[in-house]
A and B are shown apart, each in its own frame.
Chain A
Amino acid sequence: MATTYLTLTNEVLRELNEIQLTSATFSDAVGIQAFIKESINKALNDIANEEPQLPFFATATSGDTDPFYGNVNVSTVAGTRWYLLKADSSSITTDYSAVDWDNFYLTTIGVSGETAPYVSKGLKFITLTDWTRYIRDSENADDADTQNYGEPKYVVRSPDNRKFGISPIPDKVYKVYFYSYVAPTELSAHGDTIVLPDQYASVVTARTRYYVHQFKESLQQAAFALDDYKKGMKRMKSNLINPQPKNMTDDRVYF
């Protein structure tokens, strides 16, 4: 069972020998208790900011629409280049916190009216600079003139980080799959749970203690807490992001 906001708060309060909260008093916390509640949310954001692609921040489980890669998809419209990464997001504050730009995938499988042979391929990420320098002008001219469009090969990130563009401009409906990550939802009620597995709750409490000790002007204790947090983050990233065997390949050819 995931650690609740109340459990986490009381864990820190216990470490500091402060008065613990109950489910009844939680919402009315004042003073140091209120500060610790706020600090826990700050700590969660710090973790997300430091490593937004930790698996528990993923928008959805990968492979939900088997066998496609990615955890969200966007359907393209013929003749439209730019798409909101998060279709229902009203502003940048509600957008995905991170997107894996190396893992965009284009397909016609699952598109209404499409039959085999299907289009199914990865979209290569190109920088905005390359796209503007080498591709944009011709595509814009096509769009304004013959409107031939084409089968997309590239994905590009919009400067405001809210949209992705595909190139060439799609000539029909495709589905674009990719991986997205969300920022942690702010904890509010005492029963709210953190997205981190229990074994990593100590990373949150370490970061929280860092803030609380600063609040209490216990700078040495804050430094210790910061060190705990850094070690915890390092272990968490090592365990969750790079757990696979380390392989090295070499494609040089000897003549």
Chain B
Amino acid sequence: MAASQPFSVAMQGGLDKSSNTMELLAKPGVATKLTNFEISTRGGYRRINGFTQLGDGTRPNSSNDIEGLHVYADGVIAAAGTNMYFSQDGDSWLQINKASVAGGGDNYTAFTGRSALTRTSQSKASFATFEGNTVYGEVIITDEGSGVKPFYFKMTGTGDALSSRTYFAKEITVSGTHYPKFCVIHDKHLVVAGAATALNTIFYSGTSDIDDFTSTGSGSIVLDDQVVGLKSFRNELFIFCKNSIYKLQNINDSSTIAVVPVTKNVGCVDGKTIQEFAGDLIFLAPDGFRTIAGTARIGDVELGTVSKMIQPVINDIFDNIVDYEFSSVVLRDKSQYRMYYSGSAEATQNSKGITGTLTSRGFEWSEIVGIQAPAIASGFNFAGKEKVYHGDRNGYIYNHDTGSAFNPEGTETNIFAEYQSPDFDYGDFGTLKTLDHVKVSLRPEGATDPTLRVRFDFDTPDRIQPNDVSLETNDPAIFGLSLFGTTSKFGAAESPLIRQPVQGSGHSNFFKIFSEDTNAPYTINGLYINYRPSGRQ
């Protein structure tokens, strides 16, 4: 046989749906399928974590949809059905949309005894926290159903028991019967917008007086376009409209306050997609994900599309956009932006998402399937710990991005994860190559058993394709981390290089590594392939 040749590939570049098959020959590190994998902060493609039920799985409001979540104090606020709730642990929920709460605050008994201030026709909820000078800050909640006034909630008291705390709750009157949909805290002001009765008007509260829209510093501005989202970024407030983007400057100076257009050509598809991420704002525009890079160049705004690599995925979303509900979150420790989208009647297993991870090479993307998250939130709680929660349309709330399995409604479910490389031509598409073996560099986080599949010549039916093989790995025992007597294996490598003989020949081939189980996550670092070139058939 001809002398064997080596070929190494490091996993980098993320999902590439935009390059054609020939272009992909020059980009072996990217993935043509990358489902339920994420770009690891340590390099490579990592199977995502699962999610677990928050607490014992008690739902705040029966099977009513979770309309919004917000990390607050030492727990989470959930908008569910026509009510709102707070919980520290997910085991029990305190209804917080209460009427007639005393101006000086209610103790626990008084608060729980108040009648409900029903959030009629509550739809998606927007949250904003004004840190102020209180322990937990003050929360404003607006309703995208535009059927109720913004709701104000505050909790004080440092004891662990909710019964030892003081509660403040009320509705905020913005202007007449305007019920804004969106809210944000910007430079000592509460800014709201998007009321069904004033779609193109933003209202801002008095300075350091977030529950009063008549006091000093308050006002309103009428724009050309309908507002779909608000985001405070550094010293400017970005106002995302359907077909344009503005920024509000100098909100604290009535003589120089101004709304400056950023662009009148690009708008935002859904305000729920806007996130501040890695020193920038990212949002879903009609042509894909874009960032607004506020740089040191004062007044200069750079718009850039960052999702060209997954444009076909974006196009699929736009083909069904009227059916989709969006949510997004930033996982700060992973430098990762996640956007979830699904139809209101979509089954959990068909619900989808997109992850965008900022790497030294720019944004790299992957897809998520099997997480229904119409509501999702991340934030640092009172203890300074980042918490991420998501809620589904059946009233359940989950700890997001944790564990090794999906747990919709408390049922442990396999995570189907799939990585597929582009076809490798090993530098010469015309030469027939017979594969000898492949070494898969993995970094398992426990016992894992992914499957390796090899397909030749773009999976043509004109070639017999080899059987799948297992890439079983042991749980490596890490000094200082592993416990004696557990499943960890002494001597198991942290990043094993699994040598797998493979058979078959073709002019090109791709590798697919996939798993559908509840095993621990693993990272695919790269592939080393040994092959033997033969003639040009």
Contacts and interface: CB of A to CB of B under 8 A. Distances in A.
Contact of A18 (B2, B467, B503): B503
Contacts of B466: 19
Interface in B445-479: 461-467
A32 B505 contact: yes
Contacts of B435: 17
A31 B464 contact: yes
Interface in B366-395: none
Chain A residues touching B, majority SS = loop
B128 to A, nearest CB: 60
B537 A19 contact: no
A33 interface: yes
A131 B532 CA distance: 61
A21 interface: yes
Contact of B534 (A21, A29, A216): A216
A135 interface: no
Interface in B391-416: none
A90 B461 CA distance: 40
Contacts of B503: 13, 17-20
A221 B1 contact: yes
B535 interface: yes
Contacts of A17: 434-436, 503-505, 532
B2 A218 contact: yes
A216 B461 CA distance: 20
Interface residues of A, number: 18
Contacts of A200: none
A49 to B, nearest CB: 27
Nearest to A218: B534
B434 A16 contact: yes
Contacts of B504: 17-19
Contacts of B505: 16-18, 32
B266 interface: no
B361 interface: no
Interface string A44-86: 0000000000000000000000000000000000000000000
B536 interface: yes
Given A17-B434, A17-B503, A221-B1, A25 B464 contact: yes
Interface in A200-220: 215-218
Max count, chain A CB within 10 A of own CB: residue among B435, B461, B464, B466: B464
A151 to B, nearest CB: 63
A81 B436 CA distance: 64
Max count, chain B CB within 10 A of own CB: residue among A30, A32, A33: A32
Interface string B95-132: 00000000000000000000000000000000000000
Nearest to A21: B464
Interface residues of B, number: 21
Contacts of A21: 464
Nearest to A214: B535
A191 B287 CA distance: 59
Interface in A1-49: 13, 16-21, 25, 29-33
B223 interface: no
Max count, chain B CB within 10 A of own CB: residue among A18, A20, A215: A18
Contacts of A20: 503
Contacts of B172: none
B248 interface: no
B306 interface: no
B432 interface: yes
Contact of B464 (A16, A30, A215, A217): A30
Contacts of A19: 464-467, 503-504
A19 B506 CA distance: 11
B536 A217 contact: yes
A29 B466 CA distance: 13
B534 A30 contact: no
A196 B466 CA distance: 30
A218 B432 CA distance: 11
A142 to B, nearest CB: 65
Given A17-B434, A218-B1, A218-B2, A30 B535 contact: no
Contacts of A16: 434, 505
A19 B465 CA distance: 7
Given A17-B434, A18-B505, A19-B504, A217 B463 contact: no
B432 to A, nearest CB: 6
B34 to A, nearest CB: 26
A16 B466 CA distance: 14
B436 A31 contact: no
18 contacts: A16-B434, A17-B435, A17-B503, A18-B434, A19-B465, A19-B503, A20-B503, A21-B464, A25-B464, A29-B464, A30-B463, A31-B462, A32-B463, A32-B505, A216-B537, A218-B1, A218-B2, A221-B1
Given A19-B466, A32-B505, A216-B432, 16 more contacts: A16-B505, A17-B503, A18-B503, A18-B504, A19-B465, A19-B467, A19-B503, A20-B503, A30-B464, A32-B463, A216-B537, A217-B535, A217-B537, A218-B1, A218-B2, A218-B535
Interface of B: 1-2, 432, 434-436, 461-467, 503-505, 532, 534-537
For the complex of A and B, 10 pairs with smallest distance between CB atoms:
A217-B535, A216-B534, A19-B504, A31-B463, A19-B466, A19-B503, A19-B464, A33-B464, A30-B462, A216-B535
